Amino acid sequence: GAGVSQSPSNKVTEKGKDVELRCDPISGHTALYWYRQSLGQGLEFLIYFQGNSAPDKSGLPSDRFSAERTGGSVSTLTIQRTQQEDSAVYLCASSLVRGGSDTQYFGPGTRLTVL
């Protein structure tokens, strides 16, 4: 079956522009996670969805970042007024049931470059 997919795979944008990153989780997975992978920084947790709700948004780096999930499936991560420090690989993962302890299946990532 299909794994987690993300689009676009690469995005180059100018500073100040808004970007939308999309994640399609594995069908039937109720939990969805967003991470950011910066050079030398490891993986930074951004947000977690259980169904369509996000119990904890404290991982989002600033109020320029927002995320939503509709229909318990697709999620979009939106970055407004992008800055150069937003350049990173954004990873999405999903798991069958609630909980960070459940195996997370990762997508291929979206590489964002802000010029």
Partner 1 sequence: AQRVTQPEKLLSVFKGAPVELKCNYSYSGSPELFWYVQYSRQRLQLLLRHISRESIKGFTADLNKGETSFHLKKPFAQEEDSAMYYCALVNFGNEKLTFGTGTRLTIIP
The contact set with partner 1 (CB under 8 A) reads 3-4, 31, 33, 35, 40-45, 48, 50, 55-56, 59, 91, 93, 98-101, 103-109
3-state DSSP helix/strand/coil % of the chain, to nearest 5: 5, 50, 45
Q: Which is nearer to partner 1, 60 or 82 (CB)?
A: 60
Element (H, E) at 64: none
* Cα dihedral 43/25/49/111 (nearest 10): 40
Among the listed residues 95, 42, 36, the one whose alpha carbon sits nearest the alpha carbon of residue 62: 36
For the bound state, the minimum distance from the C-beta of residue 35 to partner 1, rounded and expressed in Å, comes to 8
Taking the least distance from each CB to partner 1, the nearer of 45 and 66 is 45
Closest approach, Cβ 16 to partner 1, in A, equals 30
Choice between 59 and 72, CB closer to partner 1: 59
CA distance 85 to 76: 20
Residue 3 C-beta: closest distance to partner 1, Å: 7
Q: From the CB of 79, what's the least distance to partner 1, in Å?
A: 20
Task: Specify the residue, 98 or 111, whose C-beta has the smaller distance to partner 1.
Answer: 98
